[in-house]
Amino acid sequence: MFCFQCQETAQNQGCTKKGVCGKPADVAEMQDMLIYVLKGLSSVSLEAEERGIKQDEVNSFIVEGLFNTITNVNFSREHFVDKIKEALRLREQIKEQLKEKGWSGENLHDAVTWNGSTEEEFGQKAQQVGVLATENEDARSLRELITYGIKGLAAYAEHALTLGYTQDDVNKFMKRGLAATLDDSLSGDDLTNLALETGKYGVEVMALLDKANTSTYGSPEMTEVNLGVRNNPAILISGHDLKDLEELLEQTDGSGVDVYTHGEMLPAHYYPYFKKYEHFVGNYGNAWWKQREEFATFNGPVLLTTNCLVPPKEEYIDRVYTTGPVGHPGVKHIPDRVSGKAKDFTSIIEHAKKCSPPQELEQGKIVGGFAHEQVLSLADKVVDAVKSGAVKRFVVMAGCDGRHKTRQYYTDFAKGLPEDSIILTAGCAKYRYNKLNLGDIGGIPRVLDAGQCNDSYSLAVVALKLKEVFELDDINKLPIVYNIAWYEQKAVLVLLALLHLGIKNIHLGPTLPGFLSENVAQVLVDNFGIGGITTAEEDLKTML
């Protein structure tokens, strides 16, 4: 086993026996194998597209397969074995179709030609094709940077596809990018340019998802979210999937069962569509990594819809349900939609009715809902505040939260910001400071939460609008500081998207990615001013 795709990888070098995330070595090797065959599948799928062979099924399979391998999504070896078999079947099917079109099939990569059918064969092959198969450290670093960015692309593309939105050029790029990581002829400059191109499509796919979400559920609006509980049995929903939430709320309406959000589902409360449900009570708890204590006190069943699952403790594993790409041995799974029908949440609803109400963790409310439409509606007030000097700077503190004790840095940094600063945030990093009493500036809250990590696009829209309003020729001349926390592969894509937009001097923490070689990290420092973090006290001096 060797895995270094997340921020918590062992010693910031790589997990070699078991993932810090809880992923066993035998699951890690099946994920490596799936990525390898997806690269081969991508290669032949591109050939098929050029010859007019429709690839809709393959495109959606690649998106789903990539999403399955993101940190904290699926811990089931059997699941990945099935995905590998399906990928090989699709690849061979396409090859037969290509031969009928006169394709010669010569000089093919091993990822296109290798075949197997058993777990044992997959395991043996996985030892040869994992991350360390690329011996040159810099090439390996760039290939993994591209692959992790594409995994982030797949996550956002999957959410958009669930709501009926897709984009051909994004699907094609994912395949082109994956196939390119097999090409030994590409130089370091070629791979660097491909990484930045991944960021270009990151902007596109986040815009697509923004359109899918707002067209379906309305534009997020400033909202107070309840943190307390009611005396009813309830279901806790975590992850990111708004379609799952929609169907769960519809099926629990009038049942006597309340619904609460956890982690990255908090921003669902900001969408107008969901406010019609009186039993959609509020948010319970904090970021994903606290779920082992917070799921225990919730008392009712918990639904995991996307990434952010931590291997459940025995005391509550019988109350955990997964759906979509999420899976874990010993956990009940709710099947996908069939023929356009809604998922059937009957089992988890009936389970909830037999449970005690949640144990209260806290009281009060938090305010969010500052996606780009809401912020732009306040544009005049914001501009006036900047011109008057009431607001001197914006600080982007988006990204992920995690278990590292060093992440207390972000709480201390937020507390230490001058009172003329406004924090722009998205993602679960906000849980480090969104419950602090930081006040407001002329009625503008000092923490403007745009939503999920998916909604980082809103922060880019706001920055570009401010650049336009102040008639600047360079986005880096704005009074904006970037101090971003990262954890998993969607955050990698967000970083690449920001670099594509030309944003420089981004601080990334709590550690720089372990998958960046010294030389690749230096390229990012030299060309984009990427930096790490030190202490909150020192960084407040240097960044501001």
Question: What ranges make up the beta strands (E) of 221-271?
Answer: 223-226, 234-238, 258-261
Q: How far is residue 104 CA from its own chain's centroid?
A: 39
**pLDDT tens string 92-104:** 999 999 999 999 9
How is residue 470 written in tokens?
């102040």
Q: How far is CA 445 from CA 66, 305, 348, in A?
A: 38, 30, 38
How is residue 314 written in tokens?
């025995």
**pLDDT tens string 261-319:** 999 999 999 999 999 999 999 999 999 999 999 999 999 999 999 999 999 999 999 99
Q: Does 184 reside within a domain?
A: yes
Same domain, 231 and 191: no
What is 91-117 written as a DSSP string? HHHHHHHHHHTT----S--HHHH----
- pLDDT for 117: 95
How is residue 365 written in tokens?
């409310």
Same domain, 179 and 236: no
The pair phi, psi for residue 343, each rounded to 5°, is -65, 150
Distant-in-sequence, close-in-space partners of 492: CB < 8 Å, separation ≥ 6: 145, 148, 149, 151, 152, 486, 513
- pLDDT for 46: 98
pLDDT band with cut points at 50, 70 and 90 for residue 383: confident
Distant-in-sequence, close-in-space partners of 74: CB < 8 Å, separation ≥ 6: 68, 80, 325, 326, 327, 328
269/378: higher pLDDT? 269
pLDDT over 90 at 454, yes or no: no
Question: What ranges make up the beta strands (E) of 128-195?
Answer: none
Three-class DSSP category at 224: strand
Same domain, 139 and 254: no
Same domain, 19 and 107: yes
Average pLDDT, the chain: 96
Residue 421 is given by DSSP the state: E
Last residue of a domain, one of 353, 379, 411: 353
Q: Does 513 reside within a domain?
A: yes
Same domain, 466 and 330: no
Q: How far is residue 260 CA from its own chain's centroid?
A: 21
Q: Does 375 reside within a domain?
A: no
Q: How far is CA 328 from CA 24, 310, 315, 457, 499, in A?
A: 11, 9, 15, 31, 35
Could you tell me the residue range of the domain that residue 46 belongs to? 10-216
pLDDT band with cut points at 50, 70 and 90 for residue 379: confident
pLDDT over 90 at 339, yes or no: no
- With a pLDDT cut of 90, the percent of the chain lying above it is 94
pLDDT band with cut points at 50, 70 and 90 for residue 457: confident
